Amino acid sequence: MSAPPKRMKVKVKRKQKDPLDVLQESFANFDTEVVEAWTVVDVVENFLSPLGLEKLRHLFMQQKITGHVLLTLTKSDLQELSPGVVGDIVLIDQSLNLLKRRVRKANRERLVWFGRWPDGGCAYYDSCGQCMAYTLFGWCLSTIEYKFTTGGIFVKNKPPQCNCCCKPMFSDHSDYRFMKDIEAYRRPTCLCACYRQGLVLKFDAKDDRDADIESMKPQICCAGKGGDTSTHFIDLAHPQLTNDVTQTIKENWQKARLVSD
């Protein structure tokens, strides 16, 4: 009997990952908020190496390309750094645009302050009845969360834990670029026995906001006063809104206005 024929082993080449996909995966391992503080070595390890461009290590070291410099590079700058190598220029340019978008997004979404309502004493309720209701039956009443970032304000109306009435969750985002004014206040309540502190923020109204505003707590989110439909107010009362938090919010507002201008 003749020997059975030998099976041919076929080598299957694995498809190499796209360098941009590798770079995106590496983004998950470091904080994009600190890219500007990268040293030259950090730039080489976190940016060049995932792209497979270690050959440019000496060039980046020689030109002192730190994180701050990296984010300011243009395509013409890259052509001067690596003249004649079109593939490297295109790859670095695409990767830089991706990195810049991630950094801008991280800067816009950096958390400044987070708070929940209800919080604080009776001064932060509309009435004694509302205070008693949330004290005794808070598990079956809606709550509100606020998140102040460097780019804007997120307001989320959360349904109660039991949610017997199947109330929907409503969330809204207001961008600092559309904010007109901000005012801090400290008002006496409960026959001047205690004080309520908070902020009133004035925004340009959104066309689709009016229908959702009705489901929000009136002192938190309301349409323009005096029938002014071009203005949207957020009246936020919370015991943790200190002067330092208010000042930080004002600074972020000023920065957003400079960018929009």
User: Tens digit of pLDDT for each residue in 235-246?
Assistant: 888 999 888 989
Q: Maximum distance among all alpha carbons in the chain?
A: 109
Q: Tell me the pTM.
A: 0.65
pLDDT at 27 > cutoff 70? no
CB-based contact 86:48 (threshold 8 Å): no
Angle made by CA atoms 113, 116, 118, in degrees to the nearest 5: 145
pLDDT at 218 > cutoff 80? no
| Distance from C-alpha of 68 to C-alpha of 71, rounded to nearest angstrom | 6
The pLDDT of residue 16 is: 59
Read off the pLDDT band of 216 (50, 70, 90).
Answer: very low
Pairing of strands 111-117, 143-149: antiparallel
Per cent of the chain over pLDDT 70 is 74
Measured between its terminal Cα atoms, the distance across the chain in Å is 88
pLDDT at 226 > cutoff 80? no
| Distance from C-alpha of 10 to C-alpha of 24, rounded to nearest angstrom | 32
The pLDDT of residue 215 is: 44
CB-based contact 210:216 (threshold 8 Å): no
| Distance from C-alpha of 114 to C-alpha of 4, rounded to nearest angstrom | 73
Q: What residues have CB less than 8 Å from 232, skipping those under 6 apart?
A: 174, 202, 203, 204, 205, 206, 209, 213, 221, 222, 223, 224
| pLDDT one-digit tens code per residue, 75-131 | 888 888 876 678 888 888 888 998 888 888 887 888 899 999 888 888 888 888 888
The pLDDT of residue 171 is: 83
Residues forming beta bridges with residue 223, ordered by sequence position? 232
The pLDDT of residue 6 is: 57
CB-based contact 254:245 (threshold 8 Å): no
Read off the pLDDT band of 223 (50, 70, 90).
Answer: very low
Read off the pLDDT band of 65 (50, 70, 90).
Answer: very high
Read off the pLDDT band of 187 (50, 70, 90).
Answer: confident
The pLDDT of residue 165 is: 64
| Distance from C-alpha of 91 to C-alpha of 19, rounded to nearest angstrom | 8
pLDDT at 40 > cutoff 90? yes
Q: What residues have CB less than 8 Å from 124, skipping those under 6 apart?
A: 117, 118, 196, 237, 238, 239
The pLDDT of residue 220 is: 46
| Distance from C-alpha of 163 to C-alpha of 141, rounded to nearest angstrom | 8
The pLDDT of residue 198 is: 92
